[in-house]
Amino acid sequence: MNTEREERIGRALDGFEIEIPSWGFANTGTRFGKFLQCAAAATMEEKFADAGQVHAFTGCCPSVAVHVLWDLPNGKDSASEALATAQRYGVRVGSINPNLFQDQQYKFGSLGNPDAAVRRQALSHLLESIEIAGVTGSRDISLWFADGSNYPGTANIRRRKKWFEEGLRAAHGALAGQQRLLVEYKPFEPAFYHTDIADWCMALLLARSAGPQARVLVDTGHHYQAQNIEQIVAWLLAEDMLGGFHFNDRRYADDDLTLGSIDPYQIFRIFHEIFLFKWETGTTPAIAYMIDQSHNLKPKIEEMIQTAVTAQELYAKASLVDWESLSRFQDRGALVDAEECLKAAFAEDVRPAIREWRKGKRLPEDPLAAFRASGYLEHAAKERGERNQAALSSYA
């Protein structure tokens, strides 16, 4: 018989899904170079095949974020193929990610570009991405812009804000049904003097200006050192403007490290704010939990499984906070008791309860060990190795 604690964890995990990125399975790197892996995916089919392995072993990753330029080179003409391929591997197409930063015309920005022709081209790409979402049945179109400037006086900041408002309103006007625009922010990089959408409040203002189907996307790596991300989450929840997350971890800035590898307590605190909001309001906000992190050195599928398992553990811990006691301690100003109440949940060893939950779902109790025993990675490396080794030789 499950204990009340195990049942509470089970209910939390039943409703917890985390989206994984297609680009997390491909060879990636930094601006200094790439370290290629024999088993890395190169085609859309290989990416969905690898994603299907993560979902099969964890049971919590049923959707895959796709990148229009990298995964759908023919735009909306590739959408039906992506939909069918995803279904073949037991997953679905998740958020649609336009690319408004890579092509040469975006050297001085996309929606914030001083050239009206470039702004029109950027909007056209956004509109096509929304069409793709219609074909794939995707709810969210995730928007990250590299727009900004590197030197004082080289850009008219207020005019660029106006152009962003106009472009996002036009994109919002093309949304159908339950589709959403998720507006992401980042304080710096690649622009180092000013970034057009530099923080959560700028993203919130632009999302509100766009229309009622726009929300803010929080990337946990897109903040200054020591910034209180859970406070941002709490404010966005209070404003009904939290649309989703790109989860990763960081030591310095946008390091894109494995979730929870540096500061698991921060991710726990973020989940806690969401559970507390649900407990206080009785409502469940529509939050997209997504992963966006770099897998340059770790084996890609193993790292993604590691991430999913860590997310489940931290989410389960947050579900165990005694909110009634915590609220009472807060009201009395009992600082030590309130903090200890929160820390008690974080200190819980939830792994046995999660193993029981997995057994009930007919999932392997240890997803990483089960994947390693499956032989999939060795098979993929053998099948893709010659191609990736050739790429390595040409890269060297």
User: What's the Rg (C-alpha) of the chain?
Assistant: 21
Domain at 329, CATH number:
3.20.20.150
Between these two residues, 330 and 34, which has the higher pLDDT value?
A: 330
**What residue numbers bound the domain in which 217 lies?**
4-395
* Residues in CB range of 50: below 8 A, 6 or more apart: 25, 41, 300, 301, 304, 380
Q: Calculate mean pLDDT across residues 310-316.
A: 98
Q: Is 37 in contact with 382 (CB distance < 8 Å)?
A: no
Q: Calculate mean pLDDT across residues 140-158.
A: 98
| Amino acid 275: pLDDT | 98
Q: Among 343, 295, 349, 352, which residue's Cα sits nearest to residue 321?
A: 343
Distance CA 341, CA 11 (A): 21
Q: Is 204 in contact with 232 (CB distance < 8 Å)?
A: no
> How many domains is the chain partitioned into structurally?
1
Q: Calculate mean pLDDT across residues 252-273.
A: 96
Distance CA 1, CA 359 (A): 14
Query: Crossing angle for the helix pair 4-14 and 300-318, nearest 10 degrees?
Result: 130
Percent of the chain at pLDDT > 70 equals 98
Question: Judging by beta carbons within 10 Å of its beta carbon (0-12, 13-18, 19+), is residue 341 exposed, middle or buried?
Answer: buried
Q: Among 89, 83, 15, which residue's Cα sits nearest to residue 50?
A: 89
Please write the tens of the pLDDT for every residue from 183-194: 999 999 999 999
